[in-house]
Structure 1
């Protein structure tokens, strides 16, 4: 079956996480995504603390299914090539700081004036105006300013950063959603769209329930809702993570403070207790390995799951993953976009690209001969990768 976005061309001017996540999702849905990088590569190639064969896990994780061209937008000939590409694109996505695209000559107003059918999407940290508009920001900054750090962790404790970059993830998905809606609308109107969203608003949107509670409490003059703390000595929820006797952890997903007392092998001094607290449960669970408590949970109503390490989550052959062959890393397993359809469409099977891996091919498509590409490369305007090309492949 044809992929949903077959025939849609996306010019990807994004970097790091949120923008590349959006364009990778579009690629997974079948769009042709051309990633335009500066000659040194986008910053995601050199950021983060996890690398595989010299490749950043951040770049590898969010750039599957794309072709990479490398050129300098600050050079007139580089900009001219980018504008020619934009003229052949259905969608342009960028996440520069506000004003940068306009200074470079590739802003929404300029491009859409030339190409009214173009869909132009901007993802920024704080939006085009306001006191933070010109500031750079990453995930921890957005978590701090959105209130999500304060909402994470134990009540009364210090703010805790979420382990997953939710602002980036949500922004990438919402940007793709907006683009899909604009493509659908264009089929009727024939007109393009300008789409804008920012990480801060996206994270606030992801906290709709918390914001609603806080706003309601503010309107009534009451304090914002926080988890109830049971009085000393009174039975309270024991829901939470615990370390077992073998050092492995489990999550006790229950508000029933009598869970431990129902266990046949609860332990001395607890089987007759009518009230227990987290401290007692923690001491009990440390007396046996995790597998013991997982086996036991079936006889006392369930509600117990292991806390897994990332390396334990996916196994070889999992339907949740797909495998690509990276030219320098080799076999690379990645998480598949978790959208299933019947009948299914074929998944893209192209690895994250090397810098400028497809520059020469794309420039050929634009009508540039090899001699011209060579000349621009000698001047530092473009960068090519002369090693073996990887064509886009789709699993049969």
Structure 2
């Protein structure tokens, strides 16, 4: 167990690794925020107006969606229009300076935008490229859109959470997204490890349906799931719910808690970051404990386009060119980002 007295390592394990994050919503950003927590630099490319999760969900703080705040800490934001030729050129140049590219477009979209695996690895063979999709690159469902509830329904996860009354229900957590994000991160790190000996990159394909199925491997081994009449939540006279488990001969009874109860005054599992518009932002720490520890890499999620000017400058774009791209609406840079903070009613939209 890491203790406060243990000196930290000089650098985080992924320090020096540059990730170009073209992903949106949950699964892709969950993958890249894990890599950021381990020390990688993550450059998030967003379209004008911001990626979809900035404008989705039922919980907002100072105009910022909780979905975006939850999965984008510590990243840099470049706001650029991939539908324009100059925007695509800039993103391709970013990819050529990156070690890893992550995207979760629908199959075929990245190729149409000129940022597909074969297109980028043709000029940069050592690139590790990760594509996260709902159903994989081919098959009958490949072109269909999907979200967490649909994957839970198709994968058997919803059936596995059937109520005693016989109604399948959705889990309250986005396990398909989390499973895909974690497996994508593992695949990326494995490809990087292999590259250290071969010098060659890789293309990593992950899909949500297979990831959720993999999370249910014990159910497959045990046969079709059927709800147990011995286990379940019970409402007591004081209004509290308890989970009662009677299988195996040794009974157990634990309270069913809300997140605020679990984490009340728990500074070991949580952290507080200062966000430029939200103020104090409370988040969970990555649950990986290492001795000796590495330095903390935590910083708040970026405002839209906060790092556009700096990143383009590193790539050799002149100030004059950057100003022209901003005037044409191809980019939003940090000097005009405050006009793009969402304060309107949430609405659905899609990346290109």
Question: What TM-score results when the alignment is normalised by the length of structure 1?
Answer: 0.80
Question: Quick check: 1:48–1:57 contact (8 Å CA) kept in 2?
Answer: yes
Question: Quick check: 1:14–1:20 contact (8 Å CA) kept in 2?
Answer: yes
- Select which of 47, 60, 63 maps to 1:38: 47
SS of the residue aligned with 1:167? helix
Q: Distance in 2 between matches of 1:194 and 1:137?
A: 22
> CA 1:388–1:148 in structure 2 vs 1: closer, same or farther (change >3 Å)?
closer
In structure 1, the gaps of 5 or more residues are 215-223, 230-236, 258-300, 390-396
1:164 aligns with 2:198: no
Q: Distance in 1 between matches of 2:80 and 2:337?
A: 20
Question: Quick check: 1:155–1:226 contact (8 Å CA) kept in 2?
Answer: no
Q: Distance in 2 between matches of 1:256 and 1:8?
A: 48
Q: Distance in 1 between matches of 2:12 and 2:228?
A: 49
* 1:385 corresponds to: 334
Q: Distance in 1 between matches of 2:228 and 2:305?
A: 56
1:370 aligns with 2:340: no
1:205, distance to aligned residue in structure 2 (A): 0.7
SS of the residue aligned with 1:319? coil
Question: Quick check: 2:303–2:337 contact (8 Å CA) kept in 1?
Answer: no
1:372, distance to aligned residue in structure 2 (A): 1.5
- Select which of 211, 236, 242 maps to 1:244: 236
Comparing both chains, which one has the higher relative contact order based on Cα–Cα distances under 8 Å and sequence gaps of 6 or more?
A: 2
1:225, distance to aligned residue in structure 2 (A): 5.1
1:80 aligns with 2:89: yes
* 2:65 corresponds to: 56
Q: Distance in 2 between matches of 1:347 and 1:134?
A: 40
SS of the residue aligned with 1:333? strand
1:341, distance to aligned residue in structure 2 (A): 0.5
* 2:279 corresponds to: 330
Q: Distance in 1 between matches of 2:288 and 2:132?
A: 23
SS of the residue aligned with 2:129? strand
- Select which of 150, 169, 182 maps to 1:173: 182
* 2:300 corresponds to: 351
- The alignment's C-alpha RMSD in Å is 1.8
In structure 2, the gaps of 5 or more residues are 1-8, 339-352
* 1:285 corresponds to: none
Question: Quick check: 2:163–2:227 contact (8 Å CA) kept in 1?
Answer: no
Q: Distance in 1 between matches of 2:228 and 2:36?
A: 46
1:209, distance to aligned residue in structure 2 (A): 1.6
* CA deviation vs aligned residue, 1:43-66 (integer Å, no higher than 9, x gap): 011111111111111000000110
Question: Quick check: 2:98–2:127 contact (8 Å CA) kept in 1?
Answer: yes
Name which one, 1 or 2, has greater alpha-carbon Rg.
1
> CA 1:72–1:302 in structure 2 vs 1: closer, same or farther (change >3 Å)?
same
1:227, distance to aligned residue in structure 2 (A): 4.4
Question: Quick check: 2:305–2:337 contact (8 Å CA) kept in 1?
Answer: no
SS of the residue aligned with 1:241? strand
- Select which of 246, 253, 262 maps to 1:254: 246
- Select which of 135, 150, 156 maps to 2:144: 135
